[in-house]
Homo-oligomer: A and B are copies of this chain.
Amino acid sequence: MHTALPPIRTEPLRTACSACNLRELCLPLGLSSADMEKLDGLISTRRTVPRGESLFRANEPFHALYAVRTGFFKTCLSAEDGRVQVTGFQMAGELLGLDGIGSGNHTVDAQALEDSSVCVLPFSDLENLAREFGALQMQLHKIMSREIVRDHGVMMLLGSMRAEERVAAFLLNLTQRLQARGYSANEVVLRMTREEIGSYLGLKLETVSRTFSRFQDDGILDVKQRQITVKSPEALQRLVSTAAC
């Protein structure tokens, strides 16, 4: 410990991909350190998004993908008639904006559910870099493919699961992703409202609330507002995997 002057930059030194603690979860996964340095050069901008603000909105022109550094987002698809569907929740290391590539315009709103920061990945630069580095290209393709697979899972959930199973699957998915980021698998602080969970799961907020209460009665969860303690992950797992029987 030294007693020298305080650092001149109050802002912390910009974390490079190569030094980012998310590199095993994010775009750089599988890249050599040489390739990763090239990727560092690409990320010239970062952006902070205060809670409640949008990172981008539907119909805005698409220019970049965004990698969540810190915080938590939701993506919403809006229908002409005003209905809104939450299509996903994104946490650190996950990519936002893939929906915009196809048409050149974003198709969903990405809103921060808590104060958040993202790395901006200008897409044409990313494509250029991907053409140079097969590993980056492959990783990008894998990420897009996994998003498709995730969506298929949600389709299964929405198409054929009952409320209890949906909520159980949602909680398991959330805890697993948090665990991969070094958090406890049993303690979750929900960043979203019951209504947002319901929208994602195709349920009304009352049904989500009731299901949480039932899980608490059954000793599976401890629910204190948004503070959830998973007392029996096994029970949740049983609910999703033996659902039809």
A-to-B contact residues, CB < 8 Å: 77, 79-83, 85, 87, 98-103, 107-108, 127-128, 130-132, 134, 137-138, 140-149, 151-156, 158-160, 199-202, 241-245
Which chain B positions have C-beta within 8 A of A149?
Answer: 99, 102-103, 107
Oligomer copy total: 2
Known: A131-B137, A202-B160. A151 touches B155 (CB 8 A): yes
17 CB-based A-B contacts, threshold 8 Å? A85-B152, A85-B156, A87-B152, A98-B145, A99-B149, A101-B141, A101-B145, A102-B148, A127-B134, A130-B137, A131-B131, A131-B134, A137-B137, A154-B155, A158-B158, A159-B202, A160-B202
- A158 CB contact (under 8 Å) in B144, B155, B241: B155
A221 and B153 alpha carbons, distance in the complex (Å): 32
Which chain B positions have C-beta within 8 A of A131?
Answer: 130-132, 134, 137
- A142 CB contact (under 8 Å) in B82, B83, B102: B102
| Nearest B residue (CB) for A82 | B244
Q: Are A138 and B148 in contact (CB under 8 A)?
A: no
Which chain B positions have C-beta within 8 A of A148?
Answer: 98-99, 102, 144, 147-148, 151
